[in-house]
Amino acid sequence: MKIRTLIVDDEPLARERIRKLLQKEADIEVVGECADGNEALAAIREQKPDLVFLDVQMPELDGFGVLEQLGRGAMPAVVFVTAHDKFALRAFEVHALDYLLKPFDSERFRKALERARDRIQRAHPGDLGRRISELLADLKTGVKPQHRLAIKSGGRLLLLKIEEIDWIEAADNYVNLHVGNESHLHRETMATLADKLPADKFMRISRSTIVNIERIKELQPLFHGEYAVILRNGTRLTLSRSHREELNRLLGKEP
């Protein structure tokens, strides 16, 4: 019986590489490819694959977010794919979960696939779901608010204080950090960065925007429950209707 496999990665070249490596395996059937977490969540629920190669760093909904929303009962076998996250790698190893660290060679890929095959054949129902649930719990407890970010810019390494950031916008697999008249592109998903920011200082006002509360000068009601968020430097942003609870928190109201 073939192992029905789903490939999830926001980088087309990364998906292509995994697909080509899987083409050499007679017992693998690729049932789909997804470019983001929301696509992956829908595909897993619909296709019910046996195995998923899951990119950890994706915009909006990352790999961990996919598994959290999926729930333990519908969990396929997973090989995590990550570019850099030492804490996550340690967590994978503690919970005996398979992962590939980019860039990986064909031999490392083959070993991860072989372990995945073995787990699919001998895994007890619910065992993988339990270990992934424990992984997600460990990752949550291990996330601590950061005070500085190391930003690569023009061959330099800038140490940027979190409190200096005015607002943040999602930019595919990056975030754009706006600091005064400057902006810095930083390789991290919005969801991952949001978990590291102090909740009493930063507020998410839309799927793609986070703002430093101290920089807000004025709120102006718009249509359909949205608000214009005016910063002290004149920047105009929009607080979406779906994030009204964040506005209530800012104003000290009950949701």
Same domain? For 78 and 175 the reply is no
Same domain? For 11 and 95 the reply is yes
Residue range 100-119: mean pLDDT, rounded: 89
Same domain? For 72 and 50 the reply is yes
Same domain? For 178 and 194 the reply is yes
* Contact predicate 137/118, CB 8 Å: no
Q: How far is CA 114 from CA 28, 161, 175, in A?
A: 11, 44, 35
Peptide bond into 103 cis (omega under 30): yes
CA angle 174, 84, 123 (to 5 degrees): 115
Read off the DSSP letter of residue 92.
H
Given 142, 165, 191, the domain boundary residue is: 142
Where residue 89 sits, what CATH number does that domain have? 3.40.50.2300
Tokens at residue 230, please?
């005016």
pLDDT digits (tens, 9 = 90+) for 131-140: 777 777 766 6
pLDDT at 254: 44
What is the rounded CA–CA span in Å between residue 53 and residue 127?
A: 18
Phi and psi at residue 62, in whole multiples of 5°? Answer: -85, 180
* Cα four-point dihedral sign 74, 78, 84, 88: positive
Given 124, 142, 160, the domain boundary residue is: 142
Same domain? For 127 and 159 the reply is no
Same domain? For 220 and 129 the reply is no
Same domain? For 202 and 137 the reply is no
pLDDT digits (tens, 9 = 90+) for 163-219: 899 999 998 778 999 999 999 988 888 887 887 788 778 888 998 999 999 999 999
Same domain? For 35 and 108 the reply is yes
Given 93, 114, 142, the domain boundary residue is: 142
pLDDT at 43: 93
State the DSSP string of 36-90.
SHHHHHHHHHHH--SEEEEES--SSS-HHHHHHHH-GGG--EEEEEESS-HHHHH
Question: If residue 108 lies in a helix (H) or strand (E), which one and from where to where?
Answer: helix 106-122
Question: Global pTM?
Answer: 0.56
pLDDT digits (tens, 9 = 90+) for 1-45: 899 999 999 889 999 999 999 998 999 999 999 998 889 999 999
Q: How far is CA 94 from CA 36, 134, 166, in A?
A: 27, 10, 37
Query: Domain count of the chain?
Result: 2
Residue range 101-124: mean pLDDT, rounded: 85
For residue 231, pLDDT over 50 is answered with yes
Same domain? For 61 and 46 the reply is yes
Beta strands 77-82; 98-101: pairing state = parallel
Q: Is 97 helix (H, G, I), strand (E, B) or coil?
A: coil
Tokens at residue 112, please?
């991860």
Q: pLDDT-derived band of residue 96, with 50, 70 and 90 as boundaries? A: low
Same domain? For 177 and 71 the reply is no
Same domain? For 41 and 88 the reply is yes
Residue range 108-118: mean pLDDT, rounded: 90
Residues 6+ apart with CB under 8 A from 41: 61, 66, 69, 70
Residue range 115-125: mean pLDDT, rounded: 77
Range of the domain at 24: 3-142
What is the rounded CA–CA span in Å between residue 213 and residue 238?
A: 14
* Contact predicate 196/168, CB 8 Å: no
Where residue 180 sits, what CATH number does that domain have? 2.40.50.1020
Q: Which among 47, 100, 96 is positioned nearest to 74, based on CA atoms?
A: 47
For residue 223, pLDDT over 60 is answered with yes
Same domain? For 103 and 154 the reply is no
